Amino acid sequence: MKMAFLFSALLACAPLAARAADTGAPLRFVLIPKTVHPWFDKVNTGAHAAADLLARLTGRRIEIEYRAPQTADVSSQNDIIERAVATHPDGLILDLLDEKGNHATMQEAVDEKVPMTVFDSLPPEGMDVTAVGADFCEQGTIAAQRLASLIGGKGEVAIMMGVPTAPNHSLRAQCERTAFAKYPGITVVATGIDNDSIETAQKQAAAVMQAHPDLAGWVACDASGPVGIGQAIRESGRTGKVREVGLDNLNDMIQLIHDGVADSSASSRPEMQGYWAVVAAWQRALGQKTPKYIDTGIDVLTRKNI
Amino acid sequence: MSLETTFPTTPPTPPRLPPLRRLAARCMRSPLGGVVAALVIIFGVSCLLSPHFLTSFNLMIMARALAFIGLVTIGQSVLMILGELDLSVGAIGGLAGITGGMLMVQAGLDPWLSLGLCLLLGTLCGMLNGVLITRLRLHSLVLTIGMAGVYGGANLVVTKGVAITGVPGDISFLGRGVVYGVPVPFLILLACLGVVGFVMSRTPVGRYVYAIGSNPEAARMLGLRVDAIRVAAFATAGFLSALAGILMVARLGTAQPSIGDTWVLAPIAAAVIGGVATTGGLGSPVGAVLGAVIIGIIENIIVLFGISPYWQSIVSGGIVVLAISFDSLARRYIHRDA
């Protein structure tokens, strides 16, 4: 239904788009993710796909400038947002590290009349910004419930936190705990922190499995964590004994599912988030009203559908 | 037979240099000549290549971003002149910022009192580093790596990784305010640089710092209170890091546990670019802050020029190497035929 609505909105904008084509100058959108990461490369791919499609339909070129902070740090991201605002793009597409910490900088963009769209995060309260993304809590809950059913609703499980200061990682962890709490036979015996690093996740997971030989399964809170967990499971020779439900759709994650190390992955759709973020940014650049929230949904990736 | 010795009545005149080399020689006469020349070149190239670089908005955001890293750089440069390093400055800044947020939001303390307590905490953390280094005779690099873990860990323990929101607006002026178009944090940086620069260049304490940095044993034999000056320098670095941390809280409006994560290596790089010797005894806080300005401009133009994030490290690293080499290359150019 949402898709149908959005597609209708897109068609409704066609006359505007045709008018925009007359102006000739390319539209320039700056895409600023949380940090440099393969997940955001997929978002960038989706953004370019939308830009190419809109350019073909309207005859007006759309440029996507990808500006990723080297570290997932709010002040670093704010610096990059400010520098991007200084170039007066036709739109900013942001994945906010912390909507409250980013608020002052986003207000500067508002003051400079630069339209904004956010993805994979929620905008600051009271700011007229379209948010594109999936529900983090739902994603964590889906992963935890799937693991619970895989282990028959009983046993020891562990949660690999991503970056403890990242709100979306914390929210997934919290919802995973809530989901496990509904199963009296399941105990969360360990929580690792991987700081969104596959290597760290691998070391942490190996140590946790040493300390808890009866561990039945893992869930994670970021994209790197489940890859490291899978490597640790494989190296310890406990494939099939320790079950894993991962997150997102990095190539390594898909390979782990294909190899049978991980059962599945609750994956948001990064390409789709990038795609619809550009569509929303394009409409805002043309002065159109856009939806408050565009839900791109969650896939459960298994061996059957990857 | 008489031996006749003739002495020249006037000293030999040095060979006259070509105009460009004469200008270069004049610039390089100052210890800050190299960094200033590199800064002028990078600034000029940026102005030429990006129409957005010299706008008032861009200059303002550069000045504001410089303030936070600049404050930490001042403290780190004093330590480097002394022959020491503190790798926990970022963690101290983060801990001070988080403590400030907790005092203001959770304990309901007056924002200005909280700010004072945070500065005191930062000073005490720096002082603790100094005391441990001098009493236990530990290398500052090793000790502060450990203390960075302690302060950073304390930060995570108290916050559980979650930012503290609802920081009162009373102090937001310190982070977001603008006076006659100049960001308030930048004015605070200038004030701190003025004070520390004066102490380092015009007071006996500053001369002692240089003396200890050049030769600590000789300084000790001369009767200088080497350990006390070391502790004071670490306390100063802690104070300035805490100030940067609390200003960042005022800027963001929230106390983020990640504050200070990027304040470890950049100030050291800035100080080296600005002519501070890693072996101690040479350089100045002013030069170090100019080095931070160069890094700030590089970070700015990387975004303005639209350089791919995957190339950013190579580009910024390459420009930093060029900036560091500039001083040596310029001196070789001046003395090419000498």
Cβ–Cβ below 8 Å for A101 and B61: no
Residues A100 and A176 in one domain: no
In a shared domain, residues A67 and A119? yes
Domain membership of residue A23 as a residue range: 2-134+270-299
φ, ψ dihedrals at A158, nearest 5°? -135, 150
In whole angstroms, what is the distance from residue B245 CA to residue B241 CA?
6
Same-domain pairing of A154 and A37: no
Tell me: do A156 and A217 sit in the same domain: yes
Other Cβ atoms less than 10 A from the Cβ of A267: the count is: 25
Same domain, A197 and A232: yes
The DSSP string of B185-228 is HHHHHHHHHHHHHHHHHHSHHHHHHHHHHH-HHHHHHTT--HHH
Q: Per the structure, how many domains does chain A have?
A: 2
**Statement to judge: residues A151 and A262 lie in one domain:** yes
Q: Are A214 and A128 part of one and the same domain?
A: no
Residues 6+ apart with CB under 8 A from B311: none
**Cβ within 8 Å of A, B 132-161:** 156, 159-161
Is ipTM strictly over 0.90? no
Cβ of B299 and A68 within 8 Å?
Answer: no
Give the strand pairing for A62-66 and A27-32.
Answer: parallel
Average pLDDT, chain A: 89
Minimum distance, in Å, between the CA of residue B158 and any CA atom of chain A: 12
Q: CA of B131: how far to CAs of A171, B124, B216, B226, B241, in Å?
A: 41, 10, 17, 12, 18
Contact status, residue A73 vs residue B299, Cβ threshold 8 Å: no
- Note whether A70 and A156 are same-domain residues: no
Q: How far off is chain A from B261, nearest CA to CA, in Å?
A: 8
Q: Does A305 reside within a domain?
A: no
**Is position A306 within any domain?**
no
Predicted confidence (pLDDT) per residue in A184-229, tens digit? 999 999 998 888 888 889 988 998 998 899 999 999 999 999 999 9
A205 within 8 A of A229, measured Cβ to Cβ: yes
Same-domain pairing of A51 and A127: yes
* Any domain includes A291: yes
In a domain? residue A120: yes
Mutate to test the interface with A, among B69, B172, B247, B252 (most CBs of A within 10 A): B252
Q: Which two tokens stand for residue B196?
A: 């520390």
Do A281 and A259 share a structural domain? no
Whichever domain contains A45, its CATH number is 3.40.50.2300
* Among candidates B160, B163, B251 on the partner chain, residue whose Cβ is nearest the Cβ of A98: B163
Q: Within this chain, do residues A9 and A129 fall inside the same structural domain, yes or no? A: yes
pLDDT, tens digit, 9 for 90 and up, residues A114-161:
999 999 988 888 888 999 999 999 999 999 999 999 999 999 999 999
Residue A35, pLDDT above cutoff 50: yes
User: What span, in angstroms and rounded, lies between the C-alpha atoms of B30 and A261?
Assistant: 64
Domains of chain B: 52-326 (1.10.3470.10)
Average pLDDT, consecutive stretches of 10 residues, N- to C-terminus, chain B (338 residues): 55 67 70 86 91 90 94 97 96 96 94 96 98 94 95 88 84 92 96 98 96 94 94 98 96 88 90 90 95 91 79 79 74 65
Could you tell me if A251 and A277 lie in one domain? no
Residue A304 domain flag = no
